Amino acid sequence: MTGKTVGIVGGGITGLALAHYLDRHDVDVALFEATPDPGGVIRSGRVDGSVVEWGPQRVRRTDRIDGLIGDLDLESEVRTAAPDLPVCVYADGDLHPAPFSPSAFASTDLLSAEAKREVLAEPFTEPASPDETAAELFARKFGAETYRKLLGPLFGGIYGSDPAEMPVGHALSGLVALERRDGSLLKTAIGRTAGGRDAPPAISFDDGLQRLPEALADAHADAVRLGTPVTAVRERVGVDEPGGPTYELETAEGSTAVEQVVLTTRADLTADLLADLASASVGSLRELTYNPFATAYLRADLEGEGEVDPAALGYQVGFDADLRTLGASWNASMFDRDVYSVFLGGMHDPEVLDESDDRIGEIAAAEFETVTGAPAEVVDVHRLERGFPAYDDSWAALDRVDTPTGVRLATNYTARMGVPSRIREAASLAEELADS
């Protein structure tokens, strides 16, 4: 061990993966998780015998996730979706696979001939500006029809946000960099398909995705304290120990001295923890908004009773369709289960959370049948008042967030949100902390 200790607040996937990689670098860790269970927003369980995912539905098996599966000996529990499953969009009363390859684009009936011409003209449009919204960018570069039927629902659906409220500078900085590199977004997309850089397969585990954080917490049980909320992060004072611990993490059990602190907590909770240490940033952190969600879990037989091809990841609903559903994840088809997850709410329709669970289930089941032709039985309804980071105008507040040396934020609102990205950030941060 290096003799220094990194204190990690939060035992979601970011904190636990960071603990794992720091251990690989022989750095001591003290990780505190407020709840009794590891995983944070990754929560899986069984309702009437069916596996339900109350958080993320699937992850891409990137090289890093592949490495964790090997390190934790989880291979025998992995469920892998068939390769190259499309995500679909529901528009004009039908489901259409998103046409992201040149041949699919040429043959799709999702887009009119005029809309296709507008897409092909993208290389002649002005480059993205950080000050326009994602909606303005997509409509200006690819045409209004392609925005409303395809790009808006797919991009907004990732966060449950309205692209008309998402500034490019915050929500699409990665895409802007790719445009700068390739000269056009269409070229980037064609380069990806032609270069064979298809997405790694979607996976889950027999008992759901929470198996991954659970296995990480078990593997590092000595360093992980579950059910132990950190109540404050303070600078150590009055200790004459040059080069020694700089911060203290306070919990009901006492305080733990650490050299470095990594906070992986939601923005409002991070604000509470930094009240003493970075008081000027507290208000800005509290400004960041999250989108509320309701998820209905439906038992349905798409193979037997549906009118659509069940070989897909699921669908997002086009902006012109008259449905309250945002989208659905077809976990049953992907992972040989029997429950489909249907999402409602988000920035477009936060009022749906005012409805009762029974009503939310009813809406989800009726609309699922409209889209797929298959009747559905409601198994469970789950609410997240603060679900996805919205990446909207409130993200301007992030520019005013500053933490003292030795205190870092590793979170899905300061960097990318998907589980593979969280794990990638944990790995690179571990390297940086081990070298510091």
Ligand X SMILES: Cc1cc2nc3c(=O)[nH]c(=O)nc-3n(C[C@H](O)[C@H](O)[C@H](O)COP(=O)(O)OP(=O)(O)OC[C@H]3O[C@@H](n4cnc5c(N)ncnc54)[C@H](O)[C@@H]3O)c2cc1C
Q: What are the residues whose beta carbons fall under 8 Å from the beta carbon of 339, sequence distance 6 or more?
A: 50, 51, 52, 297, 298, 299, 331, 332, 379
Distance of alpha carbon 414 from alpha carbon 394, whole angstroms = 12
Q: Is residue 412 a contact point for ligand X (CB under 6 A)?
A: yes
Q: Is 104 a binder of ligand X (CB under 6 A)?
A: no
Residues 6+ apart with CB under 8 A from 330: 302, 310, 312, 313, 314, 315, 340
- Using the rule CB under 6 A, which residue among 2, 41, 257, 357 binds ligand X? 41
Among 7, 40, 318, 345, binds ligand X (CB under 6 A): 40
Nearer to ligand X, 119 or 410 (CB): 410
Among 411, 423, 427, 433, binds ligand X (CB under 6 A): 411
Concatenate the DSSP letters of all residues of 29-40 into one string. EEEE-SSSSTBT
Size of the site for ligand X (CB under 6 A): 36
Q: By CB under 6 A, tell whether 56 contacts ligand X.
A: yes
Which residues between 143 and 182 bind ligand X (CB under 6 A)? Answer: none
**232-235 and 44-47: which strand pairing?**
unpaired
Q: Does 414 contact ligand X by CB under 6 A?
A: no
Does 59 bind ligand X (CB under 6 A)? Our answer is yes
Q: Are 340 and 404 in contact (CB under 8 A)?
A: no
Does residue 15 bind ligand X (CB under 6 A)? Answer: yes
Nearest CA to 278 out of 410, 409, 404, 398 is that of 404
Q: Provide the mask over 374-393, with x wherever binding to ligand X is found by CB under 6 A and - wherever it is not.
A: ----------x--xx-----
Residue number, 5 or 412, with CB nearest to ligand X? 412
Q: Is 91 in the site for ligand X (CB under 6 A)?
A: no
**Nearest by Cα to 314 from 292, 294, 340:** 340
Binding mask 203-242 toward ligand X (x if CB under 6 A, else -) reads --------------------------xx------------
Q: Does 12 bind ligand X (CB under 6 A)?
A: yes
Q: Which is nearer to ligand X, 38 or 306 (CB)?
A: 38
Part in contact with ligand X (CB under 6 A); list of ranges 49-57, 215-223, 234-242, 309-317 = 49-57
* Segments in 2-62 forming alpha helices (H): 13-24
Angle, CA 330 vertex, CA 333 and CA 336 arms, to 5°: 30
**241-270 positions binding ligand X, by CB under 6 A:** 264-266, 269
CB 256 to ligand X: min, Å: 12
User: Sheet containing 78-80: which strands, arranged edge to edge?
Assistant: 59-60, 202-205, 78-80
Strand intervals (E) in 281-436: 290-300, 314-317, 325-329, 339-345, 376-389, 407-409
Which residue number, 158 or 396, has a Cβ lying nearer to ligand X? 158
CB of 206 to ligand X, least distance (A): 17
Taking CB under 6 A as the criterion, the residue among 5, 44, 57, 284 binding ligand X is: 57
Answer for the pair 74, 215: CB distance below 8 angstroms, yes or no.
Answer: yes
Could you say which of 4, 34, 45, 357 contacts ligand X (CB under 6 A)?
34
Q: If DSSP codes are grouped into helix, strand and coil, which group holds residue 128?
A: coil
- Residue 390 amino acid letter: A
Chain residues in the site for ligand X (CB under 6 A)? 9-15, 32-35, 40-42, 55-59, 229-230, 264-266, 269, 273, 293, 384, 387-388, 411-412, 417-419, 422
